[in-house]
Chains A and B, each alone.
Chain A
């Protein structure tokens, strides 16, 4: 069996290099590059989601965990839980694009999607990466068959985003055979149905360490289910450890090095959230369109109204952009991983180091993807009118379910701070040539208006927007670091605005590269790209303007605003006409579509 589905080899680009480098369409992976096998895997996953998960939705939402367990076992039989599991333990060991694709296509229910992701991601990956052969032998097969559900317990009531601050303690027993764990964990996904827990505690109150604890171990108590806003069909409980005896051989990884597990696993969780958001948004848009097609007001189907069309177009453009973003990023991660030697003893460590190169991108995918989903579910609820507010229609549930995505796997605020601070950190370490790029842009803009570079092709205007968005990003980063120096990290609002600009640069570039790679085969894709570009640049513009207002005043501010105006000068696209065309195509298809060669 082949270990890698993708034959694609992307140019190595990571860690924020998107701000200073220009890639060509052939340098990036796009959804259009999925192999035949990947498409088939997507097809199996979709069929499972549509035919098995959707019909069971009411039972899932009512926390009938037997149903969720059954579905997990069925998912296991199909191989959906083995995508990341090594072949030597009976897994498929496929590439990360395939893994993201499964997360995307399975996401028709927020609840089940969380159960699934918590199991294959934070539940299973630490064992794959850090487990001893004995631990893997003992647990992996059970997890990849779905016979056992996995759960990951890190957060505590007073340690969420600041996870290193946990209070759970572990003490070695006098005979050296066990660790005795005491403490409490909060908001633990899958806790109510899990058979294996990865629990973090500090040995002697100091050494941050992970332990594998089987359900039923004396001293491990799962508390009552939380009453949640959304994802009600997933299990979320506290866990109480009272002199819980864990055999020493169940220590995961190294004592005192649990932070490596905790942090590295997050990167994967973050890009997976974006993949799930794409699937959730596509499903939500389909439901909204189907409702809108049937709904007649003032004697016309509401899909003929401009303000309804605008919601459909905005949602579709968000999905198009998110697909471009997630598959480009994960494709680049795969390209980096494919260069590693699988037989090397430190292979798992190298995998994590490679993924860690993408911390900036992973954080952007997390916050940008979750907010894209939030806009889509909000639009779709809105076009249901009053029906959107009652439980009878799925729009209400989708709206509630999406909210958690802005909170877990690091809040969106934390992820914005990570985006900007890592970018700066990498620049300081000399791993990202940010400073020369900032200097170049500063010199250029200070020298006055340059000749406009002539671009051609259907996306020439958007290319110019992207070039200016990059310059604005560098200019603002430069201005902010001049003003605040090392104190910039304390200016969270400014860090956040910078993160938004960086995110839009990455997303817009992904959109343009994807569209250019299609080479005109899909006229609708060009419209989606133009529509998204207009939105993207508005965000860059607003963020830059707010930033400059916050960091300069007087003559300095006036000078900077002259530069700002030069870089934001543009002719607006006709987003009304584009939006109508996009909506008509989506409504005609009854779902998100890229249309055909002709329309």
Chain B
């Protein structure tokens, strides 16, 4: 079988977000594979280690630096990578079209992708890709095992956990708690050097974003620097409650 893992590269959570030229400035900043996607790479490796005869292909759409994330996935143990190179920012629906085309061309049996983007918070990629392929989708998986052509597992629902069986092909979205992703070991980093990263041009997929980003701004947390002196304690308490309710709107 063939497992496709869709990955994205995002700003490291510890990094400061800076805006330059109406874009998030990533130059000189530390970029990493989206952690949500990392669970997918790890899970694919575990399915194989638990007996699945699988080829693991990682796929990413993005600029030249995206290759770093693909190399990281290869060093974790994926077999090969496909890098659709573009400097353009694709909306999720356009991105899902690329992913679906690759899934068809590669005759994939299983697609794993992160449940939510770390940077723009979208949860739509898995669903949109499944829709395009007319495959079933299971979101927010927290346990996964393969039995023949059937995946069994657990996933989070609003108020609890559901167990499921799903017949391949299918799309699954991954999340924290599914596993503990491994570090790329030094020997595997060296081995990954020889693994293939196929470079495709985005143009080959004839997709276009219908949502275009017009600008970005960083939400600044402005400190009001207001001090309630407690000389009249009951009045101060009342003022605090009123401020929290009406200005900060953190209580109702």
Give residues in A with beta carbon < 8 Å to B: 1-2, 5, 36-37, 39-41, 43-44, 47-48, 77-80, 82-83, 92, 94, 299, 522, 588-591, 593-599
A94 to B75, CA, bound (A): 16
CB of A92 within 8 A of CB of B190, answer: yes
CB of A588 within 8 A of CB of B186, answer: no
A94 to B193, CA, bound (A): 14
Could you give 30 example pairs across A and B, Cβ below 8 Å?
Answer: A1-B190, A36-B71, A37-B192, A37-B193, A40-B71, A40-B72, A41-B186, A43-B72, A43-B184, A44-B183, A44-B184, A44-B185, A77-B185, A78-B185, A79-B185, A79-B186, A92-B190, A94-B190, A299-B225, A522-B28, A589-B15, A589-B16, A591-B14, A596-B18, A596-B20, A596-B25, A596-B27, A596-B29, A598-B20, A598-B21
- Which of B29, B72, B189 is most buried by chain A, counting CB atoms within 10 A of its CB? B189
Contacts of A80 on B, CB cut-off 8 Å? Answer: 186
CB of B72 within 8 A of CB of A593, answer: no
Q: Which 5 A-B pairs have the closest CB atoms?
A: A79-B186, A596-B27, A596-B28, A40-B189, A78-B185
A5 to B183, CA, bound (A): 20
A299 to B223, CA, bound (A): 11
Contacts of B14 on A, CB cut-off 8 Å? Answer: 590-591
CB of A593 within 8 A of CB of B28, answer: yes
Q: Is B234 in contact with chain A by the CB < 8 A criterion?
A: no
CB of A83 within 8 A of CB of B29, answer: no
Contacts of B225 on A, CB cut-off 8 Å? Answer: 299
Known interface pairs A597-B27, A598-B27. Does A37 touch B185 (Cβ–Cβ under 8 Å)? no
Add 15 more A-B contacts to A40-B189, A78-B183 (CB < 8 A): A2-B190, A36-B71, A37-B190, A40-B71, A44-B75, A44-B186, A48-B183, A78-B185, A79-B187, A92-B187, A94-B190, A589-B16, A593-B28, A595-B28, A596-B18
Residue of B nearest to A52 (CB): B183
A37 to B185, CA, bound (A): 11
Question: Could you mark each residue 26-62 of chain B with 1 if its beta carbon is under 8 Å from any beta carbon of chain A, else 0?
Answer: 0111000000000000000000000000000000000
CB of A83 within 8 A of CB of B186, answer: yes
Known interface pairs A40-B72, A593-B28, A596-B28. Does A588 touch B183 (Cβ–Cβ under 8 Å)? no
A318 to B182, CA, bound (A): 34
The prevalent SS among residues of A at the interface is loop
Within the complex, the shortest CB–CB distance from B81 to chain A, in Å, comes to 13
Residue of A nearest to B74 (CB): A40
A599 to B14, CA, bound (A): 19
Contacts of A92 on B, CB cut-off 8 Å? Answer: 186-187, 190
Contacts of A2 on B, CB cut-off 8 Å? Answer: 190, 193
A426 to B153, CA, bound (A): 70
Within the complex, the shortest CB–CB distance from B247 to chain A, in Å, comes to 21
Contact of A40 among B18, B25, B184 (CB under 8 A): B184
Contacts of B21 on A, CB cut-off 8 Å? Answer: 598
Within the complex, the shortest CB–CB distance from B83 to chain A, in Å, comes to 13
Q: Is B191 in contact with chain A by the CB < 8 A criterion?
A: yes
Contacts of B192 on A, CB cut-off 8 Å? Answer: 37, 40
Contacts of A78 on B, CB cut-off 8 Å? Answer: 183, 185-186
Residue of B nearest to A47 (CB): B183
A36 to B184, CA, bound (A): 13
A82 to B186, CA, bound (A): 9
Residue of A nearest to B188 (CB): A79
CB of B187 within 8 A of CB of A588, answer: no
Within the complex, the shortest CB–CB distance from B94 to chain A, in Å, comes to 27
- Which of A522, A596, A597 is most buried by chain B, counting CB atoms within 10 A of its CB? A596
Contacts of B72 on A, CB cut-off 8 Å? Answer: 40, 43
A224 to B91, CA, bound (A): 64
Contacts of B184 on A, CB cut-off 8 Å? Answer: 40, 43-44
Within the complex, the shortest CB–CB distance from B216 to chain A, in Å, comes to 15
Contacts of B29 on A, CB cut-off 8 Å? Answer: 589, 596
CB of A588 within 8 A of CB of B190, answer: no
Contacts of A590 on B, CB cut-off 8 Å? Answer: 14-16
A598 to B28, CA, bound (A): 10
Contacts of B25 on A, CB cut-off 8 Å? Answer: 596, 598
A591 to B189, CA, bound (A): 27
A41 to B190, CA, bound (A): 9
Known interface pairs A77-B185, A78-B186, A598-B27. Does A40 touch B75 (Cβ–Cβ under 8 Å)? yes
Contacts of A83 on B, CB cut-off 8 Å? Answer: 186
A36 to B15, CA, bound (A): 21
A36 to B191, CA, bound (A): 13
Contacts of B18 on A, CB cut-off 8 Å? Answer: 588, 596
Within the complex, the shortest CB–CB distance from A52 to chain B, in Å, comes to 9
Within the complex, the shortest CB–CB distance from A282 to chain B, in Å, comes to 13
Contacts of B187 on A, CB cut-off 8 Å? Answer: 1, 79, 82, 92
Contacts of A597 on B, CB cut-off 8 Å? Answer: 27-28
Contacts of A94 on B, CB cut-off 8 Å? Answer: 186, 190
Contacts of A41 on B, CB cut-off 8 Å? Answer: 186, 189
Contacts of B27 on A, CB cut-off 8 Å? Answer: 596-598
Contacts of A44 on B, CB cut-off 8 Å? Answer: 75, 183-186, 189
A591 to B14, CA, bound (A): 10
Contacts of A40 on B, CB cut-off 8 Å? Answer: 68, 71-72, 75, 184, 189, 192
- Which of B18, B71, B183, B192 is most buried by chain A, counting CB atoms within 10 A of its CB? B183
Contacts of A593 on B, CB cut-off 8 Å? Answer: 28
Contacts of B186 on A, CB cut-off 8 Å? Answer: 41, 44, 78-80, 82-83, 92, 94
Residue of B nearest to A92 (CB): B186
A2 to B225, CA, bound (A): 59
A596 to B71, CA, bound (A): 23
Within the complex, the shortest CB–CB distance from A428 to chain B, in Å, comes to 43
Instruction: Scan residues 179-219 of chain B and give those whose CB is less than 8 A from a CB of chain A.
Output: 183-187, 189-193
- Which of B191, B192, B193 is most buried by chain A, counting CB atoms within 10 A of its CB? B193
Residue of A nearest to B183 (CB): A44
A43 to B68, CA, bound (A): 11
Contacts of B189 on A, CB cut-off 8 Å? Answer: 37, 40-41, 44
Residue of A nearest to B16 (CB): A590
Question: Could you mark each residue 103-135 of chain B with 1 if its beta carbon is under 8 Å from any beta carbon of chain A, else 0?
Answer: 000000000000000000000000000000000
A594 to B27, CA, bound (A): 10
A2 to B192, CA, bound (A): 11
Within the complex, the shortest CB–CB distance from B149 to chain A, in Å, comes to 34
A578 to B21, CA, bound (A): 24
Contacts of B71 on A, CB cut-off 8 Å? Answer: 36, 40
Within the complex, the shortest CB–CB distance from B18 to chain A, in Å, comes to 7
Contact of B16 among A47, A79, A588 (CB under 8 A): A588
Contacts of A48 on B, CB cut-off 8 Å? Answer: 183
A92 to B71, CA, bound (A): 19
Contacts of A591 on B, CB cut-off 8 Å? Answer: 14
Instruction: Scan residues 153-193 of chain B and give those whose CB is less than 8 A from a CB of chain A.
Output: 183-187, 189-193
A40 to B32, CA, bound (A): 11
Contacts of A43 on B, CB cut-off 8 Å? Answer: 72, 184
Contacts of B191 on A, CB cut-off 8 Å? Answer: 1
